[in-house]
A and B are shown apart, each in its own frame.
Chain A
Amino acid sequence: MLLWHRLVGAQVRSQLQYRISFVLDLVGAFLISFVDFLAVLVIFHNVLRLGTWNVHEVALLYALSTISFAFTDLLVGHLDQFPQKIRDGNFDILLARPRGTLFQVVASDFQLRRLGRAVQGVAVLVFALDGLQLHWTVGRLAMLLVTIPSAVVIFASVWVVGSCLAFWTTDGGEFTNAFTYGGTFLAQYPIDILSSWLRRFLAYIVPLAFVAYFPALYILDKPDPLGLPRALEFAAPFVALVGVGVARTAWRFAVRHYRSAGG
């Protein structure tokens, strides 16, 4: 943890050296994700509800998914470039060092500008809460505060498991995108509008329904259109724990099967 602090701290300090460039990057990240939310608004320009969900309810899903994904991207986003390390054989160097390989991969690149997306997520959250006019109870606030870190862990686990594929298919890194970028896209919308087979696969097996859908049902005090047990609304932290276990096992298994590209 101390080491992570030092490695990341050094990178953050270096990125803050170029203030203007950093601010521009932040604004750029904000703009990109703003246009992304524009898509939701355009859809609701044509229709009052998607399934049983109105624009502010979908905005809540969108905000939970986007804020969590932004933090995940900040923490483990470097996994996107990791297949390159396998391809050029530089993964060997990580194996020789006395620290966990996964730790070394994710701590080697920390881009503060990725927070721009989280800023936009918070703006959408404000838009959602403003429109919803919820009565804030301790339970709702706690749900909101527990959901985001749990969702970050769920997204990160998915990302790690997906990245393990790179150990076998060096140029197949894009498979992971379906579940990471595709995952945040999915979680931004209510899963009850998906067909059941896709929902089973992407919402329960890849547990994306726990990122936003179930916690949002609790916060909105909304009956589940799918009629699933209410206990699922509280399951996100447990799903996150299981995710960590699966990700650890998958990574270890993959590293054991690593064959160097050779020199």
Chain B
Amino acid sequence: MRLDWEIAKRGWRRYAVYPWATAAGIFTNTIFGFIQAYVLLAVFEHRTNVGGYDARDTVTYVWLAQALLMTVYSFGWQEFALRIRDGSIATDLSRPLDPQRYWLAFDLGRAPFHLIFRGVLPFILGGLVFTLHYPSAPALAEFVVSLALAVVVSFGFRFLYNTAAFWLTDIRGVVTLAITLSVFFSGLTVPVPFFPSALRTVARVLPFASILQTPIDVWLGKHHGAALVLYLGLQLFWALALLGLGRLALRAGARRVVVQGG
């Protein structure tokens, strides 16, 4: 536990040393947030309700998505794949520390940094211009739980596609496909309630809704009682399932590692 904590602190610090990158990211998220908010608000000129979302829910959704996309790291992560490709994995495997556990701890240190420094400010800026939905104290607590699970689901998925590097020398195609699927089905481009019903069912079955749509729905207070437990349970299921699959892939891949001498 102590060790995980130390690794997590390094995850935080890695991103904290680039203040300009943080400022630039906040600016970009804010611009995208404004454009997306006005596009989706135009839908509500003709309707008052889309899949259970009203205009205020939708705008809140847009700003939460922009605020959280770095926390759940929507745009891909390849660090572990690069270590496999350049052979550093051999050193990693000889350490008395599991690589998956190391990177999970690192990611759990990174996520709070991005939540505070990339998430809070765009959301406040959005809140200055639009009327947003703010949760009650219990809903906020539920949201924090759901978001923590979302980070683990996201990490589980990212770690899994990184292990493809054990079998492929160039995983760019895999990463591209993984990001495309997760960005769309997590509801980052358009909220899942806007999907036609068939597509919505697909989105509910896949793990990606657990990464963004579920925590946002919890913030908006869309799930109560048993439904809430069900959705959090689904997140927990995907977190464990993806971590398990990543573990199997790591074990299978590690057997393939050949250390070249010289």
Contact = CB atoms under 8 A, between A and B. Distances in A.
Contact of B42 (A32, A39, A50, A170): A50
Interface in B8-52: 18, 20-21, 23-25, 27-28, 31-32, 34-36, 38-43, 45-47, 50
A95 interface: no
A35 B208 CA distance: 15
A186 B39 CA distance: 9
B141 interface: no
Interface in B167-213: 170, 172-173, 176-177, 179-180, 183-184, 189-190, 194-196, 199
A45 interface: yes
B177 A31 contact: yes
Contact of A46 (B23, B41, B50, B189): B50
B170 A21 contact: yes
A50 B39 contact: yes
Interface in A138-166: none
A42 B194 CA distance: 7
Contacts of A45: 194-196
A139 B8 CA distance: 62
Interface in A6-31: 21, 24-25, 28-29, 31
Contact of B28 (A28, A178, A198): A178
B28 A175 contact: yes
A89 interface: no
A34 to B, nearest CB: 9
B164 to A, nearest CB: 13
Contacts of B18: 171
Nearest to B32: A182
Interface string A160-204: 000000000111111101110110011001000111001000100
Most buried by B among A21, A51, A174, A181: A174
Contacts of B170: 21
Given A42-B195, A49-B46, A50-B42, A189 B35 contact: yes
B176 A32 contact: yes
Q: What is the size category of the interface that chain A forms with chain B? A: 35 or more
- Contact size class for B? 35 or more
Contacts of B35: 182, 185-186, 189, 194, 198, 202
B38 A194 contact: yes
A205 interface: no
Main secondary structure of the interface of A (DSSP, over half): helix
Nearest to A58: B39
Nearest to A51: B42
Contacts of B47: 46-47
B44 to A, nearest CB: 9
A58 to B, nearest CB: 10
Contacts of A50: 39, 42-43
A48 interface: yes
A185 B40 CA distance: 13
Given A28-B173, A28-B176, A46-B50, A39 B20 contact: no
B199 A42 contact: yes
A29 B184 CA distance: 15
B189 A36 contact: yes
B76 to A, nearest CB: 11
A38 interface: yes
Contacts of A38: 184, 189
A178 B194 contact: no
A255 interface: no
B24 A175 contact: yes
B172 A25 contact: yes
Nearest to A177: B28
Given A45-B196, A175-B27, A32 B38 contact: no
Contacts of A193: 38-39, 41-42
B189 A39 contact: yes
Contacts of A242: none
A28 B21 CA distance: 28
Contacts of B196: 42, 45
A172 B23 contact: yes
A193 B28 CA distance: 20
Contacts of A31: 176-177, 180
A194 B45 CA distance: 13
Given A172-B20, A194-B35, A195-B38, A43 B28 contact: no
5 contacts: A42-B194, A42-B195, A49-B46, A172-B21, A189-B35
The 7 A-B pairs of least Cβ separation, nearest first, read A174-B24, A172-B20, A193-B42, A178-B31, A178-B28, A39-B189, A175-B24
